[in-house]
Amino acid sequence: MTSPKRTTIYDVAREAGVAASTVSRTLRNPRRVNAATREHVLAVAERLGYRPSPLATALQSGRTATVAMLVPDITNPHFFGTIRGAERRASAAGITFILSDTEESADNELTKIEHLARSVDGFILAASRMSDERILELAEEHNLALVNREVRGLPSAVVDTSVGSRQIVEHLASLGHRSLVYLSGPHQSWLAGERWDSLRDGAERHGIRAVRLGPFPPRLVGGGAAADAVLVTGATAVVAHNDLLAIGVLRRLAERGVDVPRRISVVGYDDIFGADFCVPSLTTLAGPQDQAGRAAVELLLENRSRSTARTPDRRVMLPSHLVIRESTGQAPE
């Protein structure tokens, strides 16, 4: 690759016989320029193959036309939908999309934010592991939008799992289950807390005994220990923090010769890739994660420029729905 001096706004100006500022206007505020000059400038720019420098624009204007998304674990299929949705939306708006993996660490989130602070217009924090306090503090200085996390006063897009969690309980109750175990996810996960609250709440209403176990790493491997722990409790139904964990449980139960769903029913969250072709296929709470990602980008875009004056803080709530497959069935006896 060679860099034969990119053509700048000045090259265009000279060639077109106008001032640089006119070229700039032609590009940013076409209507503030005489139609004739405008056409001419555009033609010259086109001919010279002029491409604006986003860097220079950003440095001068303060707008970078870039957003960064921070994800605890890129590898986790749970986030694929969110990432895709956000990327698509950003791309459609001509916004550059930066993706960063924070490896499940709140400290990493902070570091990355500091690092990128001046290069982006805002951050999308997906399932942030940081405390509410820290997030609020950061929001003082940065433009933030949260995904699957709520913090007072901050814009967020979350796939509602409260209603869905109750649906899970109802589903299990209707199948005759009288007890369930919830396998919780990462300790700092806000979602994990939300889900447990709703499950317990639902369980109470239906006179079902609910127990929480964990935390377990929200990955396939976590399923081994989780499954064994479940068997000890004698519960007839288990709800895992996410599908990854649920599939891990399924595998371990199969290994141990435990019949699902005859002996025990298993439910997950997210409806990730694979939930429909594992065996037995997984009953799970599905949600439009990609829409959440998409909404987050929109929230960010709305909120920029308006340095201080923030909008009536927007919260987007997306509905989830229960997908019933083969891993849940009539309670034993």
Site residues (CB under 7 A) for DNA? 5-6, 8-10, 17-22, 24-25, 27-28, 32-34, 36-38, 50-53, 56-57, 59-61
For a second copy, the closer of residues 30 and 62 by Cβ is 62
Positions in the binding site for a second copy (CB under 8 A): 1-3, 6, 51-56, 58-59, 62, 64, 74-75, 77, 80, 83-84, 87-88, 91, 94, 96-101, 114-119, 139-144, 247, 250-251, 273-274, 277-279, 303, 307-308, 310
**Minimum distance from CB of 83 to a second copy (Å)?**
7
From the list DNA, a second copy, none, pick the one residue 34 interacts with, judged by a Cβ distance below 5 to 8 Å according to partner type: DNA
50: Cβ contacts below 8 Å, ≥ 6 apart: 7, 8, 9, 11, 12
d(CA 123, CA 110): 11
HSE, side-chain direction, 13 A CA sphere, residue 55: 1
* Residue 106 contacts residue 188 (beta carbons within 8 Å): yes
For DNA, the closer of residues 22 and 161 by Cβ is 22
For DNA, the closer of residues 32 and 306 by Cβ is 32
**Minimum distance from CB of 135 to a second copy (Å)?**
12
How far CA 285 is from CA of 86, 96, 233, 321, in Å, comes to 21, 32, 24, 6
For a second copy, the closer of residues 115 and 262 by Cβ is 115
Count of beta carbons in the 10 Å neighbourhood of residue 36: 8
How far CA 297 is from CA of 156, 181, 212, 242, 319, in Å, comes to 10, 36, 34, 24, 18
d(CA 109, CA 128): 8
For a second copy, the closer of residues 210 and 292 by Cβ is 292
**Minimum distance from CB of 72 to a second copy (Å)?**
13
